[in-house]
Amino acid sequence: MQAEQLKDLVINALEDVKAQDLSVIDVRERTGITDFMVLASGTSNRHLKALANSVVVDAKEQGIRVDHIEGAGGSDWILVDLGDVVVHVMMPAAREFYDLERFWRDAPAPDFGLAGGE
């Protein structure tokens, strides 16, 4: 599955369980670790778990390997790593505190020193 399709699958999975404040950040020009970051807020720790679970179940149904899940044990932030898409589901206070949208949008694009024929 292409990164764009996986991003859409994640968005649909999150919308199915009423994610709030969905945001997608295209980081292809900023990092080599992933293509997209999808952020969503939940209303409670239970809701965060339901959001993450919806993503995991839908991904596995499509044959997508879940690389890693972090924070599922009762945290205010759960990360689901699907390779080309990294999903962050967070309580609103944690999302405001860490402000990942600003961090990734303001991050400079890497300069690998390849310009100029070196």
What would the pLDDT profile of 8-53 be if each residue is shown by its tens digit? 999 999 999 999 999 999 998 888 899 999 999 999 999 999 999 9
Q: Please report, rounded to a whole number, the percentage of residues in the chain having pLDDT higher than 90.
A: 74
Which pTM value belongs to this model?
Answer: 0.87
* Position 66 pLDDT exceeds 80: yes
CB atoms within 10 A of CB 24: 16
Mean pLDDT of 84-108: 89
* Banded model confidence at residue 118, pLDDT cuts 50, 70, 90: very low
> For residues 108 and 47, which has the higher predicted lDDT (pLDDT)?
47
Helices then strands, counting H and E runs in the chain, come out as 4, 5
Cβ(3)–Cβ(36) under 8 Å? yes
Q: Which fold has domain 3-102?
A: Beta Polymerase; domain 2 (3.30.460)
**Residue 46 φ/ψ region, left for φ over 0, alpha for ψ in the -120 to 50 degree band, beta for the rest:** alpha
